[in-house]
Amino acid sequence: MFDFSANADATDALRASFRRHASGVAVITTNDDQGNPVGFTATSMTSLGATPPLVMFSVARGASSWTAISNAEYIAIHTLGEANLELAQRMAADHTKRFTTEDWSRGPHGMPVFEAATSVLICKVRQVINIENNAVVVSDVIAGAEGQQDEALLYYQRSYRQTGAALS
């Protein structure tokens, strides 16, 4: 039987539960009001249906990218593979060093695009829903492209992981 008294604090309970949950890894980019690229590594990206094609993700309203994301008309969402480990780490570290390399270019609507990603979706922001210290961003997919073939990159128990073998 579950023991609901062990984690009396709900914040502790959430943290304990999410240590047992794995996530896919995405990188989300846009431009700030000066036209400079901004972006971050996200583990909350999910689809909200294919007809119409919608995606959503959450972002902390204290994040370095938040002001740009909250004002963005367009964004780019990249799915990452195992070969993108360094990109995932970089886009989660010092925000002043995320675009200092030459591995990105300008895609549709001027979106910053990392060519090494396994795919990219160009999206138009539909709705930004503020919830406490975070926001949920809902966007319409308007274009997309596939990059190199690779196994999906995971985040689990504070480390990046490979996708494992099929169970079914």
Near a copy of itself in 49-108, by CB under 8 A: 49-56, 58, 60, 77, 79, 81-82, 85, 89, 105, 107-108
| Contact between residue 119 and residue 78 where contact means Cβ atoms under 8 Å apart | yes
DSSP 93: S
Number of residues that bind a copy of itself (CB under 8 A): 85
- State the Cα–Cα distance between residues 122 and 7, nearest whole angstrom: 41
3-state secondary structure of 13: helix
Q: Which of residues 121-150 bind a copy of itself (CB under 8 A)?
A: 121-122, 127, 129, 131-134, 136, 138, 140-147, 150
Select from 70, 72, 71, 92 the least CA-distant residue to 23. Answer: 92
Question: With respect to a copy of itself, which residue has the nearer C-beta, 7 or 32?
Answer: 7
Q: Does 47 bind a copy of itself (CB under 8 A)?
A: yes
According to CB under 8 A, which one of 1, 34, 35, 73 is a site residue for a copy of itself? Answer: 1
Question: With respect to a copy of itself, which residue has the nearer C-beta, 64 or 134?
Answer: 134
According to CB under 8 A, which one of 34, 96, 100, 159 is a site residue for a copy of itself? Answer: 159
Q: Does 32 bind a copy of itself (CB under 8 A)?
A: no
